[in-house]
Amino acid sequence: MTSFLVRRVVGALVILIFISLITFYLFYAVPRDPARAFCGKICPPETLELVRHNLGMDKPLFVQYWLWLSAIFVGRDFTQFGPCPAPCLGYSFATQEPVFNAIVDRFPVTLSLTLGASVVILSFGILTGMLAAWKVGQPLDKIASSSSVIGASLQIYFVGPLVVFLLVDTLGLLPRPSYVPFTEDPLTWFVHLLIPWVVLSIIFTANYTRMTRSQMLEQLAEDYVRTARAKGMSGRSVFFRFAWRGAMIPIITIFGVDLATLLGGAIITEQTFTLHGIGELAVRAVQNTDLPMLLGVTVVGAAAIVILNIVVDVLYAFIDPRVRLN
Amino acid sequence: MQSDIADRYRLLGAPHNMTFPSSTTAETDADAVDTVAAAAGSSVAIVGRSPGQLMWRRFRRDRTGVIAAVVVLAFILIALLAPVISWAYGKNPDDYYGLNQPGLLNEYGYPILPNGGISGDFWFGLEPLVGRDVLTQLIYGIRTSITIALIVTVLSTVIGVTLGITSGYVGGKVDYAIGRVIDTLLSFPSQLFLIVLVPVVDAALVLPTQEPPTWLRFVSICIVLTVLGWATTARLLRAQVLSLREREFIESARVTGASPARIIFKELMPNLWTPIIIQATLALPLYVGAEAGLGFLGVGMPEAIPDWGRMFLVGSNVYHSDVTYLMFPGVSMLIFVIAFNLLGDSIRDAFDPKTKR
């Protein structure tokens, strides 16, 4: 187990360094002049030189990357903005605040959104999938199958406003989506995030229904199920106590892969409901060509996904011991 | 297999199916005849058919697939005929009708008539605030979506297939290098990268001081979607080639001295068309959604080009007062994506009847 973990963590670190290197190169070398992007359209040459010097952009690219990377661990002193203690991801071009603080401020919103949506996706998707497999061929199964096609074709930015229009504007059943910290008032937090959770999970849930259904049907054809039945176990016990465990293994793997997509969906959901999370931060940074912010958000996003994937792998190894051998 | 045989028996009665294979497909037809003769084991007159014909036959029997195909074709036709339609209808997507003609928009910029200003003059109503015609915006918007989605699908498929086959066939260090690139690309938070990269590519193509040309965003979006899109196809193709490479027919080709080019194009490729086409039909609706998503997030097409994504952006800002406007791009896109997904499913079934969904 330890060597499995070590191997996965080292691999993840390599990928993270790779991603940050590529991202850094893309943001600081591909645009013709990043200092000008900071300085704005009307920029006198001497100011441009100053900006370039203060941001360290007059140094070779690799030195710039090294400065950026080491700042995460030891901090850095920007002449223009003042010192930036570790972990430092630089200062935003647009708002002059430290990038790391901005991301930390917004983190709870995105975390609440994705965690809540994951709970909805997994519980609802697995439940309907199992019911569809239990009643295979019956109306329930057919409804589950056809709604999964529609669900996968829906767009968050269409369904979101529609749901708000219906449930909030017209019927007044729920409050307008917003973020209230969980620590402040758990109930308000829950009620205000209910619509975003449901909308974000709509596009994923259908897929999990479909997968759970086919996995269950596959498991039910396995030898151990037949043995259990032959030994007199009731159909219901075999189904709900045995078969679903086997069906969950591939579902967990796919959920690990889907986490990246879920984060992407969170960006669009945050924008749809104007929740001030990391996705909204990224979109605003794009509109302002705020390079340090973009770099920070991308690297933190990639790190989150890589870490979550390790967690999923470890979970997977716990459930299915065969994984560790490879 | 069984349904294929039944299919042939049923169709034997139809005289127009009794055509002889053309010379180009003779080789595969001979195979088909053999299999049928062996499987059917009867003396009924036997028609040889190429795999392509068999696929087409299976596809035509799938009613959902045919309806989906008709819907998709209708969308493509509307996109192609957009100038003709808007000429016959007498409006264009660029004019600010609501601003130029009094009596269409109220003081807050919303259509005066109910349901988003739907009337005999403006069939789908008016865009709030600026008063453009929704119908023409919508049909010109299809052009933008489909063009970008098609270009990206073709480019990412070509790149993915080339690198996937190279990686799987050559193996060794090349495979390792390409494999690591694919791994990294797939572990990117790709949607985050998508929005973030568009302005970066913009900045790479044009200096910040220059006025951005209208084609810039189009090119940037195509580049970014392609760069982030090819890896899935490449990984699939690599896996396919790895398993095919060890099969006897490749080995015998190699033993008889076939060149790598011949092995790849004549031996491997015929076995790869099915996964390639399936992957491409799965990817295209995703690109339609991704392009509209970019527009919704404000990094899509510039104001001058009609675009569904921007219609969603406008719609999500005005829906409290005018929900009708959002319905048109929303429902159109829902129909298109559902139809394309169903079409993809049917094509997959037709190509590979063994797979169950």
- B357: contact with A, CB 8 A cutoff: yes
- Arithmetic mean of pLDDT over chain B: 80
Kindly state the percentage of chain A with pLDDT values over 90. Answer: 10
Query: Residues near A273 by Cβ (< 8 Å), separated by ≥ 6?
Result: A160, A164, A177, A178, A195, A196, A199
Comparing CA positions, the residue from B340, B304, B308, B314 lying closest to residue B71 is B340
pLDDT for B165: 92
Candidates B67, B184, B297, partner chain A, best to mutate (most A CBs within 10 A): B297
Average pLDDT over residues A35-50: 70
- Give A72's pLDDT tier (boundaries 50, 70, 90): confident
B chain contacts of residue A26, beta-carbon cutoff 8 Å: 197, 200
C-alpha span between B203 and B223 (Å, rounded): 13
C-alpha span between A148 and A202 (Å, rounded): 9
Average pLDDT over residues B70-97: 87
Radius of gyration of chain A (CA): 24
**Residue A34 reports pLDDT greater than 80:** no
Task: Kindly report which listed range (A194-198, A216-220, B136-140) carries the lowest average pLDDT score.
Answer: A216-220
pLDDT in tens, A147-202: 877 888 888 899 999 999 999 888 888 888 888 888 888 888 998 999 999 999 88
pLDDT for B12: 34
pLDDT for B71: 94
Q: What is the ipTM of this complex?
A: 0.81
DSSP B9-74: HHHHT-GGG-PPPPGGGHHHHHHHHHHHHHHH-S-S------HHHHHHHHHHH-HHHHHHHHHHHH
Average pLDDT over residues A307-325: 72
Asked whether A265 and B150 are in contact (CB, 8 A), the reply is: no
* Residue A199 Cα, gap to closest chain B Cα (Å): 14
Kindly state the percentage of chain B with pLDDT values over 90. Answer: 17
Count CB atoms within 10 A of the CB of residue A104.
13
pLDDT for B357: 46
Task: Calculate the CA B14 to chain-centre distance.
Answer: 34
- Arithmetic mean of pLDDT over chain A: 82
- A298: contact with B, CB 8 A cutoff: yes
Q: Which residue has the higher pLDDT, B348 or B227?
A: B227
C-alpha span between A230 and B6 (Å, rounded): 37
C-alpha span between A268 and B334 (Å, rounded): 17
Q: Do B296 and A157 touch (CB under 8 A)?
A: yes
- Global pTM reads 0.80
Asked whether A93 and A293 are in contact (CB, 8 A), the reply is: yes
* Residue A158 Cα, gap to closest chain B Cα (Å): 6
